[in-house]
Chain A
Amino acid sequence: MNIFIYEWKSYRKSTLIWSLSLAGLTILLFSMFPAIAKDAEEFKRVLQGFPEPVRKAIGLEIDSIATILGFYSYVFLYVSLCGSIQAMNLGSSLLTKEIREKTADFLLTKPVTRKQVLTSKLLAAVVSLILTNIIFVTAANMMASIVKTESYSISAFILISVSLFLLQLIFLAIGVLVSVIVPRIKSVLSVSLGTVFGFFMVGIFGSAAGDEAMRYITPFKYFDPAYITNNSAYEPAFFTLGAGIILASISVVYYVYSKRDISI
């Protein structure tokens, strides 16, 4: 418990900064919605002059961007990019900071098992993420109800929002996994930025190319807002995959960390 409290305290400031930045970004993005919705309506009229197949191909996107959920689905990508960096940072510095600051000697000569240390640290990180999500979802909800033009499915909206938390859990797990496999990470930030942006770009090109297989590679595509909007549910296959990644990474982390030599 004391480790949990200490760890949580050390995350307080960065959690606050991240939460406020995410909320700020969300508010900014939503405030652009009215103008964009108007543009989209006008464009729909222009679209009448184009042949039927073209209208079909592109019309769907136009219709969706003019709705809160459609717009949210689109901008959510950038919110999730930021959120993932936060989670990956948390995860990869979880254990490496003990080694970099040479405090592992302090902590691990106390009467606690390594499993307890790891559990407390993970819990503290998860609490930090939960807090960020509460602030983010509140901001998103508030903005959505202010700028909405017509009513929208609250459950789909919440499900999309909560997928940020799930995505963060995945990146947290990946982050910790990376940190036990490569214990002497010099720059946590470059590792997490590299990983997150890597997945992010794979996601963008995967969807640009309509490549279905790519969806399995990048967590950014596990929670497809379009599917959530239509079904008010997550895709079972990808939800399971995400949970599987988290479980597998965390198990490996527990196993490796309890066997590992703490070098000087």
Chain B
Amino acid sequence: MSVIEISNLTKTYGKARGINNISFTVEEGEIFGFIGPNGAGKSTTIRTLLGLIYPTGGSAKIFGKDCIKYGSEIKKEIGYLPSEVFYYENMKVLDLLKYSASFYKKDCSKRMHELADILDLDLSKKIDDLSLGNRKKVGIIQGLLHEPKLIILDEPTSGLDPLMQQKFFDLLTEENKKGATILFSSHILSEVQKLCDRVAIIKEGEIVTLEKISTLKESTYKKFKIETAVSLDKEYFQIKGVNDLEEDRGTATFLFKGNVNSIMKKIAAIDIVNIWIDEPDLEEIFMHYYEKED
């Protein structure tokens, strides 16, 4: 079953671009990464899903129900952590969390204290006095305390130290194992790579690609680095599928995409000293999608 179904979703702000004709689905139980640089439309998409803003075209369904029409109903099962957390002033952490819990028709106090323990957060403090990272923790707890079936995270890790980030990821993995679906938006690729099953890359308001993380890595470039005894002709590796070729005193580096045999034959025909073939990390794939049209 699809937890999120987005079809042809469009949101324009006057003439300014928001998102254009976005479609994708998130299946039950998966951790779905949503990446793109600042201003690409990640938040716009998420805010539309949550009914904070209204689409100018297309529609989105969550749990099979239209996210605008059945907004309040589906939100019972959604936990949301915004990128910027500003909560009511003059309120203690505990009061805010209780207020948050009061929206869901179940007892959340046990889970609330569990989460506070895991994240090491003092519930008796005033929110105004908290640091950015600690405020973020409040955000995480209020998003997870009702054990939602769908967790939507908008750039959630900023402000958390690496240790907390790890704890937070563990939490998410745990929730995921219990059956929660997670939509995770970020511009930091390593965290998406670490956590997500599938990923959608968004650029200038449009989805550029949507792949499994594993296929994304497989089906794209491999990084070659070849050391040869003698300097090669500069154009030697310039065959179909090779990109970013660089030659420097007997060391050639390039990216290759296509039938591996064709490049292997080329390599076999010369005398090499050493060879490295690497899977590119997401970062490089990402850069690839973004640099292409510049």
Contacts and interface: CB of A to CB of B under 8 A. Distances in A.
Interface stretch (B77-85, B203-211, B226-234): B77-85
Contact of A113 (B71, B99, B100, B104): B71
Contacts of B290: none
Interface stretch (A142-150, A164-172, A255-263): A255-263
Contacts of A264: 43, 47, 84
B76 A111 contact: yes
B88 A111 contact: no
Interface string A220-264: 000000000000000000000000000000000000000101111
Contact of A101 (B73, B86, B104): B86
Given A2-B102, A6-B99, A262-B53, A109 B80 contact: yes
B92 interface: no
B88 A110 contact: no
B87 interface: yes
B103 interface: yes
B88 A2 contact: no
Given A2-B99, A2-B102, A113-B72, A108 B86 contact: no
A102 interface: yes
B52 interface: yes
Contact of A103 (B75, B78, B88, B104): B88
A264 B83 CA distance: 10
Contacts of A101: 86-89
B87 A110 contact: no
B72 A106 contact: no
A102 B54 contact: no
Secondary structure class of chain A's binding surface, majority of residues: loop
Nearest to A109: B80
A110 B50 contact: no
A113 B50 CA distance: 12
B103 A112 contact: yes
B20 interface: no
Contact of B52 (A6, A103, A108): A108
Contact of A109 (B50, B87, B89): B50
B102 to A, nearest CB: 4
Nearest to B86: A102
A109 B53 contact: no
Given A104-B52, A105-B52, A2 B103 contact: yes
Interface in A83-114: 101-106, 108-113
Interface in A1-21: 2, 6, 10
A116 interface: yes
A112 B76 CA distance: 9
Contact of B51 (A6, A10, A108, A263): A108
Nearest to B73: A111
B59 interface: no
A121 B71 CA distance: 19
B142 interface: yes
A96 B292 CA distance: 43
A261 B103 CA distance: 22
Contacts of A6: 99
Contacts of B51: 108
Contact of B53 (A102, A111, A113, A263): A263
B84 A111 contact: no
A104 B85 CA distance: 11
B87 A103 contact: yes
Nearest to A101: B86
Interface of A: 2, 6, 10, 101-106, 108-113, 116, 259, 261-264
Closest A-B pairs by Cβ, 7 of them: A102-B86, A2-B102, A261-B53, A111-B75, A110-B103, A111-B76, A262-B52
Given A2-B103, A111-B73, A263-B53, 6 more contacts: A101-B89, A105-B82, A108-B52, A110-B75, A261-B52, A262-B53
15 contacts: A10-B88, A101-B88, A103-B87, A105-B82, A106-B142, A108-B50, A109-B50, A109-B82, A110-B104, A111-B78, A112-B72, A261-B54, A262-B47, A262-B53, A264-B43
